[in-house]
């Protein structure tokens, strides 16, 4: 993987330039980081929006903030769907001053996300409500501000319906907040759209569409100048004379030619900046910066996806928006660590399941070179079952979610997502919904829901639907229509997308395409996404040859990736999932899904190693082990070969990965199945210096090499017979060491930077121990904020807000965040009488 750290620097620089507070003499835009100086109270409070309310006993916090993740996991007033963490009602208040110099300006506040049902007051004046917790919103404050005096802003968040989602959403103002002051003739929020309609290695046309608002009562003459920078070098510039009437808005297009452009792609994600300046009577009154990339995208129904003219396979994962121990308020450094690990596996694409992500998340995707499917909704007109296995379909007081607001708010929320996100080169498609069909009466098993049937507890997936297309259509037309028409809703959503952006295709994740493909739903889409339906790719191709299909939700299995290599019309998949996520848990104690390539702590799992062998060109070998009894295999005594206990299309082959270990510590005489994940044609296995034979990858249809080995202690070593690459697993002794590592040597004293500390149990020779668990305690000296601890296991319901926990696979994580004070940070970890070395780093 090649990470373009230059791009990361440019994003940070652009953010700093935008966020810097101008001097009183500067009449331009002022963008203030509004995350600091808040007070918080959890619970219902009367008159908390009033300016004379006494909040002296409230807790002081800084944003972003997620109150649910601060609590213990519990079954009281909580549910498995939302990770057994409580919701409730929370209040935020902040006093602030705005200088007299801004009195003649316009001032607004921007929220990137607040979950959910937020209501906002300024100086006691009610500004409005925003139900959806995943989309950005703003309020103009100018009319109610006191200039040169104290002002009070109050926000109420209502998550009292704590089963309002099918996964963990978080609670509170969990994304960034900005306060913006601008000249009354200015570029509004999301007022610049940069696209690249013509791209080649020789030149590129950059189309800059700029909106200008004149909030003066009188007509104004202005000059809009747009300059394009690569790094710090200005590569092009164009100006435009503008005449705009009072209290009007006007848009303008500027087409700028870039010679020899540095194209954005997944390996070299080059970024440019468009700096828009507005002058009135030769005075600079506004500056607006837009980061963008020059790239060309195309989907072909026959041959797949093209990036800058190059046929590119989409090696994607789905991601929910929580970050494990930090909940929904995920610091940038936490996402960077996780996404870099995914990139190292060969992953190049992300689906933001099933809601818009944060703006900061997309910035990182731009810089690292991920392709992104930006998704809007999990529900439309009708609610989904949020209790899991309780057959609840109607919204109840505890399960009321966005469905209640969809009809009124869908257009605004969808367009807000696209307006905010459309400059990100990482985004290659917009998704309007996820598995929506289940909630509409005419779709489902009675109309040919395919392709699955159950035999006992085993799911078998058929190659074609059990009913003919004609019979499915007949059943559909006879079925009760219900209150809403899915296809009509889809057409409206697609239309709203294209009113804002026509440079990217519209998709959705279809779970019943046998009906959706002819009912009008798929016709509203440019790309038909298929959810766990790889077995019917050929069926779809045969019956709907003019449609473009893509795997938008797939199991983490080789049999899901193999069709991508064999069928050019399928350009890729998005696996469920890239990282374990909280919620969607049916059992206590279990905080969430273990389906990820990375676990809750961001540690690599066996499935990660498997897909690294499929997606990465770097030579790779990884060993896992398991007793024969606990493995998914049995020994065929006639052939002396390992065979699967259940068929390929079994429940074992769906979500998650088979139960395997990454250690070599068993009882003598046990028969152990050794699985090797590799991209090398042949691998030889050794136990100490004894060869256990060579296996060829071409002989295994699941892309997993397997040996059955009678256990004895020692060193298990797998070595390729071609390119020299090998890996080992060593029998470990008793715990005698704690191996502590930090992922950074220093961090900035900005109250945002984070450092990850990992501890691994080891024996006296330094061999890692993954078959024994210990309680470990982190000891911290220095001015830093403890964000929490985690061991990565889905079954762990230990408190995050702690400095002690029990390991999983002998490993644990702690995350610290800087405060605003420079400090020397010292960290060590202990377990009983064993202590690690002390790690010292600087907070500058």
pLDDT digits (tens, 9 = 90+) for 55-75: 999 999 999 999 999 999 999
Instruction: Identify the pLDDT of residue 638.
Output: 87
Chain position carrying tokens 């306060």: 179
* The pLDDT value given to residue 19: 40
pLDDT value for 498: 98
Can you list the positions of beta strands (E) in 215-301? 220-230, 233-244, 248-259, 272-280, 283-292, 297-300
Mean model confidence pLDDT for the chain: 92
CB 787 within 8 A of CB 768: no
When pLDDT is averaged across residues 147-163 and rounded to a whole number, the result is: 97
Domain spanning 192-292 has what CATH number?
A: 2.60.40.10
Q: What is the pLDDT of residues 633-648, one digit of tens each?
A: 999 988 888 988 876 5
Identify whether the C-beta of residue 381 lies closer than 8 Å to the C-beta of residue 489: yes
Look up residue 538 and give its DSSP letter.
H
Instruction: Indicate the SS3 state at residue 470.
Output: helix
Is residue 582 within 8 A of residue 80, CB to CB? The reply is: no
Residue 13: the pLDDT is 42
pLDDT confidence of residue 468:
75
pLDDT band at residue 334 using 50, 70 and 90 as cut-offs: very high
- Please determine, for residue 449, whether its predicted confidence score (pLDDT) is greater than 70: no
**CB half-sphere exposure, 249, CA atoms < 13 A:** 10
Distance of alpha carbon 777 from alpha carbon 291, whole angstroms: 43
- In order of 52, 123, 424, 520, the CA distances from 97 in angstroms are 16, 12, 33, 54
What fold does the segment set 5-182 form as a domain? Jelly Rolls (2.60.120)
pLDDT in the model for residue 445? 58
CA–CA gap between residue 462 and residue 300 (Å, rounded): 27
| Residue range 498-520, pLDDT digits in tens | 999 999 999 999 998 888 999 99
- Tell me: cis bond preceding 589? Omega within 30 of 0 counts: yes
Q: Which fold has domain 301-583?
A: TIM Barrel (3.20.20)
More confident residue, 458 or 31: 31
Domain range list for the chain: 5-182, 192-292, 301-583, 619-730, 737-843
The structure tokens 């929220």 sit at 111
Q: Which helix (H) or strand (E) holds 478?
A: helix 469-478
Residue 465's pLDDT band, with cuts at 50, 70 and 90, is: low
pLDDT digits (tens, 9 = 90+) for 672-718: 999 999 999 999 999 999 999 999 999 999 999 999 999 999 999 99
Contact 351, 318 (CB under 8 A): yes
CA distance 352 to 349: 10
What per-residue confidence (pLDDT) applies to 639? 87
Please determine, for residue 47, whether its predicted confidence score (pLDDT) is greater than 80. yes
Please report the pLDDT score of residue 21 as a whole number.
Answer: 37
The string of pLDDT tens digits covering residues 244-284 is 999 999 999 999 999 999 999 999 999 999 999 999 999 99
pLDDT tens digits for range 372-423 = 999 999 999 999 988 765 556 677 888 989 999 999 999 999 999 999 999 9
Q: Contact, 81 vs 585, CB < 8 A?
A: yes
What class has domain 619-730?
A: mainly beta
Measured CA distances, 605 to 123, 351, 381, 557, 809 (Å): 51, 20, 38, 14, 11
Measured at the CA of 216, the angle between CA 214 and CA 219, to 5 degrees, comes to 75
CA 342/CA 604 separation, integer angstroms: 9
Decide whether 192-292 matches 619-730 in CATH topology: yes
Tokens 């049999």 — which residue?
A: 559
pTM (2 d.p.):
0.94
CA distances from residue 317 to 251, 572, 593 in whole angstroms, order as listed:
37, 10, 14
Pick the CATH number of 737-843 from 2.60.120.260, 3.40.640.10, 3.40.50.2000, 2.60.40.10: 2.60.40.10
Residues 6+ apart with CB under 8 A from 68: 85, 86, 87, 159, 168, 170, 171, 172, 327
The string of DSSP letters for 368-400 reads HT-EEEEE--S-SSS---SSSSS---S--TTT-
pLDDT at 5 over 50: no
CB 324 within 8 A of CB 786: no
Average pLDDT over residues 189-215: 98
**CA nearest to 307, candidates 263, 344, 272, 346:** 263
- Express each pLDDT in 727-773 by its tens digit: 999 999 999 999 999 999 999 999 999 999 999 999 999 999 999 99
* Distance, CA of 663 to CA of 809 (rounded, Å): 9
| Cβ-contact 723, 661 below 8 angstroms | no
* 451 HSE (CA, 13 A, CB side): 22
Pick the closest to residue 621 from 673, 680, 672, 663 (CA basis).
Answer: 680
DSSP 8-class letter at 442: T
Q: Of 782, 735, 724, 783, nearest to 759 (Cα)?
A: 735
């Amino acid at each position: 993987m090649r990470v373009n750290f230059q791009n990361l620097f440019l994003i940070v620089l652009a953010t700093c330039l935008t966020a810097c507070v101008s001097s009183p003499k500067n009449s331009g835009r002022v963008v203030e980081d509004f995350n600091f100086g808040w007070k918080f109270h959890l619970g219902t409070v009367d008159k908390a929006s009033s300016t004379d309310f006494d909040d002296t006993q409230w807790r002081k916090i800084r944003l972003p903030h997620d109150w649910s993740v601060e609590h213990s996991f519990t079954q009281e007033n909580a549910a498995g769907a939302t990770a057994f963490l409580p919701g409730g009602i929370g209040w935020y208040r902040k006093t602030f001053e705005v200088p007299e110099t801004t009195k003649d300006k316009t001032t607004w506040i921007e929220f990137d996300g607040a979950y959910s049902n937020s209501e906002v007051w300024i100086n006691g004046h009610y500004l409005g409500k925003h139900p959806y917790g995943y989309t950005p919103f703003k309020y103009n404050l100018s009319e109610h501000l006191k200039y040169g005096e104290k002002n009070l802003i109050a926000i109420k968040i209502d998550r009292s319906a704590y089963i309002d989602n099918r996964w963990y959403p978080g609670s509170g103002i969990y994304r960034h907040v900005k306060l913006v002051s601008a000249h009354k003739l200015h570029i509004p929020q999301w007022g610049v759209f940069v696209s690249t309609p013509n791209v080649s290695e020789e030149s590129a046309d950059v189309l800059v569409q700029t909106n200008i608002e004149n909030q003066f009562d009188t007509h104004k003459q202005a000059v809009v100048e747009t300059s394009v920078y690569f790094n710090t070098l200005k590569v092009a510039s164009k100006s435009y004379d503008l005449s705009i009437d009072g209290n009007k808005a006007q848009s303008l297009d500027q087409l700028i030619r870039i010679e020899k452009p540095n194209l954005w792609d997944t390996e070299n994600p080059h970024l440019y900046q468009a700096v828009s300046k507005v002058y009135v009577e030769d005075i600079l009154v506004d500056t607006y910066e837009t980061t963008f990339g020059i790239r060309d995208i195309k989907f072909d129904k026959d041959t797949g996806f093209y990036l800058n003219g190059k046929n590119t396979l989409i090696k994607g994962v789905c991601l929910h928006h929580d970050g494990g121990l930090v909940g929904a308020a995920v610091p940038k450094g936490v996402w960077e660590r996780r996404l870099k690990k995914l990139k190292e596996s060969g992953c190049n694409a992300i689906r933001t399941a099933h809601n818009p992500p944060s703006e900061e998340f997309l910035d990182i995707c731009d810089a690292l070179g991920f392709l992104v499917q930006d998704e809007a909704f999990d529900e439309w007109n009708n609610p989904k079952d949020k209790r899991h296995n309780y057959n609840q379909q109607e919204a109840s007081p505890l399960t009321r979610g966005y469905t209640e607001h969809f009809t009124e708010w869908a257009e605004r929320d969808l367009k807000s997502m696209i307006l905010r996100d459309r400059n990100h080169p990482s985004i290659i498609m917009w998704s309007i919904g996820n598995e929506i069909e289940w909630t509409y009466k005419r779709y489902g098993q009675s109309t040919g829901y395919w392709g699955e049937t159950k035999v006992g507890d085993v799911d078998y997936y058929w190659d074609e639907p059990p009913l003919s297309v004609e019979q499915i259509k007949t059943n559909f037309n006879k079925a009760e229509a219900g209150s809403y028409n899915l296809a009509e809703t889809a057409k409206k959503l697609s239309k709203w997308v294209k009113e804002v952006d026509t440079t990217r295709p519209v998709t959705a994740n279809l779970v019943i395409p046998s009906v959706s493909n002819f009912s009008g739903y798929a016709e509203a889409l440019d790309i038909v996404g298929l959810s766990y339906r790889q077995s019917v790719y050929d069926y779809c191709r045969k019956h709907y040859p003019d449609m473009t299909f893509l795997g938008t939700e797939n199991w983490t299995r080789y049999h899901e990736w193999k069709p991508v290599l064999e069928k050019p019309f399928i350009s890729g998949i998005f696996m469920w999932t890239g990282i374990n996520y909280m919620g969607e848990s049916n059992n206590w104690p279990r905080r969430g899904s273990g389906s990820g390539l990375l676990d809750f702590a961001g540690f690599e799992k066996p499935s990660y190693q498997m897909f690294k062998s499929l997606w990465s060109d770097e030579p790779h070998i990884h060993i896992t082990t398991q007793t024969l009894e606990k493995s998914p295999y049995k020994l065929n005594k006639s052939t002396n070969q390992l065979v699967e206990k259940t068929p390929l299309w079994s429940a074992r082959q769906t979500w998650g990965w088979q139960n395997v270990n990454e250690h070599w510590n068993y009882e003598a005489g046990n028969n152990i199945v050794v699985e090797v994940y590799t991209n090398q044609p042949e691998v030889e296995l050794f136990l100490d210096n004894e060869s256990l034979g060579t296996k060829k990858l071409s002989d295994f249809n699941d892309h997993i090499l397997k040996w059955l080995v009678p256990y004895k202690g020692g060193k298990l070593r797998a070595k390729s017979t071609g390119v020299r690459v090998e890996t080992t697993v060593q029998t470990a002794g008793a715990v005698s060491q704690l191996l502590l590592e930090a992922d950074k040597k220093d961090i900035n004293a900005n109250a945002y930077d984070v450092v990850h500390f990992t501890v691994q149990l080891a024996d006296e020779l330094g061999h890692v121990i993954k078959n024994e668990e210990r309680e470990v305690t982190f000891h911290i000296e220095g001015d830093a904020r403890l964000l929490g601890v985690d061991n990565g296991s889905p079954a762990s319901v230990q408190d995050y807000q702690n400095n002690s926990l029990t390991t999983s696979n002998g490993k644990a994580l702690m995350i610290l965040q800087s405060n605003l004070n420079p400090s020397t940070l010292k960290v060590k970890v202990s377990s009983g009488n064993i202590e690690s070395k002390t790690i010292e780093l600087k907070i500058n």
